[in-house]
Structure 1
Amino acid sequence: MQYRRFGKTNLHLSVFSLGTMRYLADAENAQDTIAQALALGINHIETARGYGKSEEFLGQALQSGLSVPRSQLHITTKVPPTADADSMRRYIDESLTRLHLDYLDCLGIHGLNTWEHLQWVQANGGCMQAVQEAVGDGRVRHVGFSTHGTLEVIKAAINTDLFEFVNLHYYYFFQRHAPAIQLAAEKDMGVFIISPADKGGKLYTPPQTLKNLCQPYSPLELNYRFLLNDNRITTLSVGAAKPEELIEPLQVADRDGELISAEIAVFQSLENYQKTVLDTDKCSQCYACLPCPENINIPEVLRLRNLAVAYNMTDYGQYRYEMFENAGHWFPGMKANRCTECGDCLPRCPEELDIPALLNDAHERLKGQTGRRLWG
């Protein structure tokens, strides 16, 4: 296991962190998963108020005793932004109680996703007053935020200078947030990557087409290498549901150096293959088509179509597409069948794509049964 400085927090975190949203089968499974993570060299565990019994199970494991002293184990929990300080005070106290802790190494504002959330954290006497009180009395040592928001919201949150770290989405198959990574690095902020195996493409169950293109590596391995070769990134979340799910990811835990020529060749091959298959239908992800009058997140819909058509990543595409209209500010936007063919987007597209036709095709490929998030 390699370790990296978590920005200005000056904590040194393992390059993989244990995310605890999926170990919820029971307390014993949670404790076994935590024990395995520690045995493999992970020293950072990340939980949240909104992750079911996650905090409670982690608190029970901490109370029963672990193989690593508390001083060498870094705990992050996350609480949602609030419109007032009193709610935030209560959230912090309740999380500390469930975790059986007298201090948190890191507290993250969970889901700073909208401009309204940003207003809340910047308001005088608002939720950050309660956070700063907790920092002042030692109950919280470092403060950051996690986000599923737009690039513009993320950059604005970073530029408040209220935060020491950021948790965000960024993967080989989703590089939209590269400018936020760079801005965070310039601010000396720690960077935590959310769920690269799952949100990064459901890479633990990749389609055969993608597996063939990635040989001699696995798609999951390549995504981890893409991230770990970037020294601006501190740590990657592994959301193991059980101890065995930690084994494959951590096989690359010591391979955090620059990409080697063979890896670079595979990434180039993936790009060339996508260009060939998609031809003139490839969305370049410039985002010039927005805003859409029907609030369709056109670039994201077409990104999912790109992946489904080029690499047969239809399962991943359906998984993400189903969240439109079902996940609120966590995954905003309407489904592609809301397109009225108004044509507003067409003159803005530098690729001159037939966007309404591609949206219709994407909807037919990706529509499925609706689902909702674990938390609201």
Structure 2
Amino acid sequence: MHYRRFGKTNLNLSVFSLGTMRYLASEENAYKTIDRAVALGINHIETARGYGDSELYLGAALKKGLPVPRSQLYITTKIPPTTDADSMHCYIDESLERIGLDYLDCLAIHGINTWEHLDLVQQPNGCMQAVREAVADGRVRHVGFSTHASLDVILAAIATDLFEFVNLHYYYFFQRHAPAIELAHTKDMGVFIISPADKGGLLYTPPEKLKDLCQPFSPLELNYRFLLSDRRITTLSIGAATPEELNVPLQVADCDTPLTDAEIKVLQRLETHAATTLASDRCSQCYKCLPCPEKINIPEVLRLRNLTIAYNMQEYGKYRYQMFENAGHWFPGMKANKCTQCGDCLPRCPEQLDIPQLLSDTHDRLNGSPRRRLWG
């Protein structure tokens, strides 16, 4: 296991962190998963107030005993922004009690996903007043935020200088947030990548076409290497549901050197294949088509279409597409069948794509039963 400095927090975190959204089958399973992760060198565990019994299970594991003392572990919990300081005070105390701690190494404001959320954390007597007081009295040592927001909101949140670290989405198959990575780096913020295996493409169960294109590497390995080769990134989340799910990711826990020539060649192969397969229907993800009057997230819809057609990533496409209209501000946007063919987007598209037709095609390919976030 390799370790990196988590920005201005100066914490030295393992390059993989244990995320606890999925280990909730039982308290015993949670303990075994945490115990195994720590034994393998993971020293950062991330939970959240909203993850069911996750905080309680983590607290039970800490009480039972792990391979290293508490002083060698870094614990993060996440609490959503509140409208007032008193609520945040209560939530911080409740989280500390559930986990059985007298201090948190890191507190992340959970889900600065909208301009309204960003406004909440900038209110002078709002929730951040309680956070500042918790830092002053030692209950919280470092403060950051997690986000599923659009790039402009993320950049604005980083620019507030209220935070020491950021948790965000960024992967080989979703590089839209590259400017946020760079801005965080210039401000010496720690960068925590959310769910690179799952949200990054369901890469633990890749389609055969993608596996073939990534040879001699696996798609999961290649995505991890793409991220770990970037020294601006501190740590990647593993949302292991069982101890066994730690095995494959941690095979690359010491592989954080620059990309090799062989890896670069495979990434170039992926890019060339997508360009050839999609041809004149390829969305370049410039986002110039927005805003859409019907609130369709056109670039994200067409990104899923790109991946489906280029790499047969249809299961991933369905997984994400079916969350539209069902996950609120965590995954905003209407489904593509809400397109009225108004044509507003057409003159803004530098590729001159027939966007209404591509939206309709994506809906036909990917629509199915609605999905929600695991924890809303």
TM-score by length of 2: 1.00
Partner of 1:345: 345
Q: Residues 82-231 of structure 1: matches in 2 within 5 Å? A: 82-231=82-231
1:40 aligns with 2:47: no
How far apart are 1:291 and its partner, in Å? 0.1
Partner of 1:371: 371
Consecutive unaligned residues of structure 1, counting only runs of 5 or more, are: none
Q: Secondary structure at the match of 2:71?
A: helix
RMSD: 0.4
1:254 aligns with 2:254: yes
Q: Secondary structure at the match of 1:93?
A: helix
Cα distance between partner residues in 2 of 1:83 and 1:257: 43
Partner of 1:298: 298
Cα distance between partner residues in 1 of 2:104 and 2:127: 17
Cα distance between partner residues in 1 of 2:302 and 2:87: 39
Cα distance between partner residues in 1 of 2:282 and 2:331: 23
Partner of 1:19: 19
Cα distance between partner residues in 2 of 1:2 and 1:129: 36
How far apart are 1:375 and its partner, in Å? 2.6
Q: Residues 298-317 of structure 1: matches in 2 within 5 Å? A: 298-317=298-317
Cα distance between partner residues in 2 of 1:323 and 1:90: 31
How far apart are 1:76 and its partner, in Å? 0.3
Cα distance between partner residues in 2 of 1:295 and 1:52: 31
Q: Secondary structure at the match of 1:288?
A: coil
How far apart are 1:373 and its partner, in Å? 1.5
Cα distance between partner residues in 2 of 1:154 and 1:68: 35
Q: Secondary structure at the match of 1:192?
A: strand
Cα distance between partner residues in 1 of 2:336 and 2:89: 41
How far apart are 1:123 and its partner, in Å? 0.3
Cα distance between partner residues in 2 of 1:375 and 1:173: 24
Q: Secondary structure at the match of 2:107?
A: strand
Cα distance between partner residues in 2 of 1:283 and 1:83: 39
Q: Secondary structure at the match of 1:292?
A: coil
Cα distance between partner residues in 1 of 2:373 and 2:285: 26
Paired residues, number:
376
Cα distance between partner residues in 1 of 2:369 and 2:224: 30
Over the matched positions of the two proteins, sequence identity in percent amounts to 77
Q: Secondary structure at the match of 1:236?
A: strand
Cα distance between partner residues in 2 of 1:140 and 1:238: 24
Amino acid at match of 1:294: E
Cα distance between partner residues in 2 of 1:86 and 1:368: 42
How far apart are 1:65 and its partner, in Å? 1.3
Partner of 1:328: 328
How far apart are 1:33 and its partner, in Å? 0.3
Amino acid at match of 2:284: S
Partner of 1:283: 283
How far apart are 1:167 and its partner, in Å? 0.1
How far apart are 1:67 and its partner, in Å? 1.1
Q: Secondary structure at the match of 1:332?
A: coil
- Could you list the structure 1 runs, at least 4 aligned residues long, displaced by more than 6 angstroms after superposition: none
1:121-147 per-residue CA deviation (whole Å, 9 max, x = no partner) reads: 000100000000000000000000000
Cα distance between partner residues in 2 of 1:83 and 1:118: 11
1:68-120 per-residue CA deviation (whole Å, 9 max, x = no partner) reads: 11111000000001111111111101100000000000000000100000010
